[in-house]
Amino acid sequence: MSAHVTTPVKSDNPNVVGIKHMAFAVKDAAKALEAYSRFLCVPAETKIMEYQKSRNRVALFDLGGIEYQLCQSMDPGGRFDAWIAERGGEGLHHICYAVDDIGKALAHAQANGARLRGCKGCGGIEGAHPHPEGYVAFLDNDAGGIEIEFMQVYTPAELEKYKQVKGI
């Protein structure tokens, strides 16, 4: 039996250059990582990082050229724990889109009706702000239940400047 394959329609958004990462809200990052290791050959020795400021545990790994983040709240009612409770289960929390110019990406989104949302990992900062890998911003809109994040990845000089600031 042959499958009918269609060519995907390309977005004309000039600001999005790719997917930076996909973040999944999970109850237990170690248990979720175990499943990814067993079924998709993600290295079992993948580290789970603890971020005290945002109170999250995150397993980071690359799969098929995309960074995956398995995100667990360290506290009951934390960002990912609350998301899981609200939706009734674990799942894809957000997709982070890499952009060349975060200001232009936000202006484009806002011109099309988007609203900005505060960054829950950074105490509610709204709009573009520094994170460990680049400038980020979140939309207060979702697409099919998936939150939207933009990231303008740091240049080497910007990364050096960021290292002087404590991250999330």
Instruction: Give the per-residue SS3 of the chain.
Output: CCCCCCCCCCCCCCCEEEEEEEEEECCCHHHHHHHHHHHHCCCCCCCEEEECCCCEEEEEEEECCEEEEEEEECCCCCHHHHHHHHHCCCEEEEEEEEECCHHHHHHHHHHCCCCEEEEHHHCCEECCEECCCEEEEEEEEEECCEEEEEEEECCHHHHHHHCCCCCC
What is the pLDDT, as a whole number, of residue 1?
53
Task: Identify whether the C-beta of residue 120 lies closer than 8 Å to the C-beta of residue 160.
Answer: no
Task: Identify whether the C-beta of residue 26 lies closer than 8 Å to the C-beta of residue 72.
Answer: yes
Q: What is the mean pLDDT of the chain?
A: 88
What is the pLDDT, as a whole number, of residue 13?
72
Taking 70 as the threshold, does the pLDDT of residue 165 lie above it? Answer: no
Predicted TM-score (pTM) of this structure: 0.85
List residues bridging with 119 in a β-sheet. Answer: 125
Distance between CA atoms of residues 164 and 167, nearest Å:
9
Which sign does the torsion angle of CA 30, 32, 35, 41 carry?
A: negative
The larger pLDDT score, comparing residue 1 to residue 153, is at 153
What is the pLDDT, as a whole number, of residue 9?
66
pLDDT in tens, 10-63: 666 778 999 999 999 999 999 999 999 999 999 978 999 998 888 999 999 999
Taking 70 as the threshold, does the pLDDT of residue 85 lie above it? Answer: yes
CA 151 from chain center: how many Å?
A: 9
List residues bridging with 95 in a β-sheet. Answer: 22, 148
Distance between CA atoms of residues 102 and 114, nearest Å:
14
